[in-house]
């Protein structure tokens, strides 16, 4: 399960991860650039922030994200993306290395990257009725928190509907054992 949201990190961590000193087993690579399109945008060059509004769409090699509003703290040259907030009808579609597709929806998603000394905290927090849908299951949790540094995915009050056994009917069960 912890793979489920990994591409989402790629999306939210584009650039933020360039020089990260985390414990996560990750590797840098040169991928096609991430594209963000929107109807309008405001850039505060003093605060180093960008706010995208209207039909916001983020696309890279692995992930597509759409939402109505998105704030990005712009990194300095060679720096990290430290904060991204996507709000209103957040929809993420992604495919992992094995071809498994994931469809994530929530009202809000927040990527946060912070380094204190040698400790790096890197999380994506989904709130507002978050839901992850795969070919075999649907998981609801409020909130969903993905700790990127520890590769740990946390559900609060989760509810999972499994579709792994067609004809057996949907079941509700705690997905915690899977994570």
Partner 1 sequence: MKSVPAHLCLALGAGGILLAAVTARPQTQPLGHATDFTSESYFEAPHERQIKMRLSGAEALPLPGGLLDVRQLRVETFGEDGKPEMVVRAPQCTYAPLDGVANSAGRMEMQSGDGKFRVEGEGFLWRQGASSLTISNRVRTTIDLPVLNATAS
Q: Which residues bind partner 1 (CB under 8 A)?
A: 2-3, 6-7, 9-10, 13-15, 17-18, 24-31, 33-46, 50, 52, 60, 62, 74-78, 96-97, 151
With respect to partner 1, which residue has the nearer C-beta, 26 or 91? 26
Nearer to partner 1, 53 or 163 (CB): 53
Closest contact distance (angstroms) between CB of 113 and partner 1 is: 12
Write down the least CB distance from residue 50 to partner 1, Å.
Answer: 7
Per-position DSSP letters for 49-82, written without gaps between them: EEEEEEEEEEE-SSEEEEEEEEEEEPPPTT----
Distance (Å, whole) CA 85 – CA 77: 21
Nearer to partner 1, 2 or 131 (CB): 2
Q: Comparing C-alpha atoms, which of 19, 53, 17 is closest to residue 36?
A: 53
- Smallest distance from the beta carbon of 15 to partner 1, in angstroms? 3
Question: What CA–CA distances, in Å, run from 129 to 53, 73, 108, 139?
Answer: 22, 25, 9, 10
């Amino acid at each position: 399960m912890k793979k489920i949201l990994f591409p989402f990190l790629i999306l939210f961590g584009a650039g933020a991860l360039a020089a990260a000193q985390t414990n996560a087993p990750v590797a840098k690579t040169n991928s096609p650039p991430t594209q963000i399109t929107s109807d309008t945008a405001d850039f505060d060059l003093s605060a180093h922030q960008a706010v995208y509004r209207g039909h916001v769409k983020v696309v890279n090699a692995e992930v597509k994200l759409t939402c109505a509003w998105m704030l990005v703290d712009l990194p300095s040259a060679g720096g990290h993306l430290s904060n991204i907030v996507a709000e209103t009808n957040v929809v993420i579609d992604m495919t992992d290395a094995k071809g498994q597709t994931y469809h994530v929806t929530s009202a809000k998603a927040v990527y946060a990257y912070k380094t204190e000394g040698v400790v790096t905290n890197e999380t994506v927090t989904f709130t507002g009725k978050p839901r992850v849908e795969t070919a075999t299951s649907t998981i609801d949790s409020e909130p969903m928190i993905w700790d990127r540094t520890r590769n740990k995915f946390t559900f609060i009050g989760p509810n999972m509907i499994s579709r792994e056994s067609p004809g057996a009917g949907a079941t509700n069960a705690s997905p915690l054992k899977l994570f």
